[in-house]
Amino acid sequence: MAGVGFDFGTTNSLISIVQGDNVISFHDDQGLPIPSVVCYEGTQTIVGREARERLAQAGLGVQGNVVRSPKTLLGRESVFVDGVERNPVDIVRDVVRFVRDQALGTRTVKNLTFDKAVVTIPVNMEGHRRALLRDAFRMAGMNIVQFVHEPLAALYGYLRTSEDFAATLRRYDRQLILVFDWGGGTLDLTLCRLVDGLLVQVVNDGTDEVGGDLFDDALKNEVEKRFREAKSIAETAAVQSEARPRLMHACERAKIDLSQRSRVNVYVPNFFRGLDDPDLEYPLPREELESMVAELIDKGMARIEKLLECQGYSTASVAMCLTTGGMANIPAIKARLHELFGPQRVHVSERTASLISEGAAWVAHDDARLHLAKSVELVLARNSYMPLLRAGLEMPQEGETRGDNYNLYCVDPTDGYGKFQLMAPRKPGPKVLPNDMRRPLANLVVPVDEKAAPFRERLSLDVAIDENLIFKAKARSLNQRGVAEAEVHDLEFALALPTGNRGWLGEDSFPDTAESGAHNEPGSLVMRSNIAAHEDPKLVPGEVLYRFDPTYFDLRHDPPQLQVDERLYYAPCSICGRPSNDPLCRCASSLT
């Protein structure tokens, strides 16, 4: 059966399949991806390019009876489209069904069945929105085998279709690769490392603040403003009802044409109303276009440097920058990437519009399963770490879950709370040291009996990852029956290329609970954990343990000095009764 990849994009959508050694992408009649736009006109549902031509302005969401990129509306209970209340899941279904039907109606390949696919998602798409997207695909007649981040799919497709696959893998083995995916709706960044045929995400970043649609909107506004100034046309001069949509499309076309030319003419006939010369005609050189959108370009480029800086890397550490998405063809963006990485390390895909869906199709064809790139850990008392879900864990596909249950103890219940802090190492893979940097994933706090002795208050923690790649944690205190829950959706993953090698996926040398030496990212909120996996009095704070077992501190038992110091620090002065750290306590010095 053919491997099916579905790139349900913010701006455009595309289906690709792999048959044999070839990739086939199902474009529309103009040879382009299908716009993710729906128009509801009476009882008629219009999807794709015809619906897009009816847009009244740039931007995403609902515009009259037109919805641009309904994916961005997922998570809302309902939206009003031309006065009619609609469920965003139903609107997404209409786009998915149209794209699927268009592919099925082609004569390129016979006997196609698109009942399941690998579907790509932006790196910053929240977990509950993924679940709703899965529902929309099911309603459209397609099951999602697994989700894959868009930049990771693009890189998989690029490597998989290299002319000399083996040579390309040797060239980039152990190297860092940055995928720069700048499309109409979002800018997605993924920093990956290729390890023995294993593609590993090191860190991801995504934003919808600099998408290509915002460029079109900025161009539209600036062209109209500058034309009015050049022709001394007052701001009060009226504009035809459909003129600005036509100007927006002309600006988008100009943006694309200026990738190959130095100057274009933006022309919109009959733009103004009531003027002797109602046409808008503005000569737009490439340099002027770049000045109009310079702020957005700066904002997007800054995310690259911030992403690398947060991981402790420089641009010199990146062996290749793979760029994809429609914005990758803008000369100003290419030039900035060349400044950062050098022309030799920047690769602009010739298939920027289809590489993501092609990569998803290859993932489906190879049956490449996602694996967890970084362990999910629980911080224990005395700042040690216990792996909950280990790096290398195979991610669940449709209808599956992966998880475990842990029975734990409360070391110090005196403040009335059991505190769970979930972390992930910054470094991917199973070989993580105790002093490696971590980032917090979630904090859970449950009530406990503050009068209980250490280790008497029992706790439990359930952790799981579901088919939508949502990590869920549920903590309970068994005595007080407290419950706390958390979800995490920004995990990193790994994909094994079909080389026979699986990097560290086949390793069995996973560490057990790490020793003390916790290091966290600067600025992260860190709780003092009071959780333990086993009973050990050395984990209990000295002042707490003394209340329940004073004999523990008998010097003949050689108690740990740290606990002795803790007990003495919090113990009041035996002479004046003041706390040991009170500057008014001078009893010890007066006796000498």
Q: Structure tokens of 576?
A: 């004046």
Model confidence band, residue 61 (pLDDT cutoffs 50, 70, 90): low
Indicate the burial class of 453 (C-beta count within 10 angstroms; 0-12, 13-18, 19 or more).
middle
Average pLDDT of the residues in 122-144: 93
Distance between CA atoms of 270 and 279, rounded to whole angstroms? 5
- Domains of the chain by range and CATH? 3-209+300-366 (3.30.420.40), 370-537 (2.60.34.10), 543-590 (no CATH)
Would you say 440 and 426 are in contact if contact means Cβ atoms under 8 Å apart?
A: no
Buried b (16+ CB within 10 A) or exposed e, 316-332: eebbbbbbbbbbbbbeb
Each residue of 234-292: pLDDT tens digit? 988 899 877 887 888 888 888 888 888 889 999 999 999 889 899 999 999 999 988 88
Distance between CA atoms of 51 and 82, rounded to whole angstroms? 14
Q: Structure tokens of 162?
A: 């290299």
Distance between CA atoms of 115 and 532, rounded to whole angstroms? 47
Higher pLDDT, 501 or 194: 194
Average pLDDT of the residues in 203-217: 84
Mean of the per-residue pLDDT values for the chain? 87
Model confidence band, residue 509 (pLDDT cutoffs 50, 70, 90): very low
Residue 500 bridge partners (DSSP): none
Map 351-362 to HEC letters. Answer: CCCCHHHHHHHH
Q: DSSP secondary-structure letter at 237?
A: S
Distance between CA atoms of 496 and 501, rounded to whole angstroms? 8
Each residue of 437-464: pLDDT tens digit? 899 999 999 999 999 999 998 999 999 9
Give backbone dihedrals phi and psi of 351, rounded to 5 degrees, phi first.
-115, 50
Distances in whole angstroms, Cα of residue 540 to Cα of each of 203, 377, 447, 513, 532: 36, 21, 18, 17, 10
pTM to 2 decimal places: 0.87
pLDDT at 50 over 90: no
Name the residue with tokens 């040797």: 170
Q: Identify which of 151, 149, 200 has the alpha carbon closest to the alpha carbon of residue 172.
A: 200
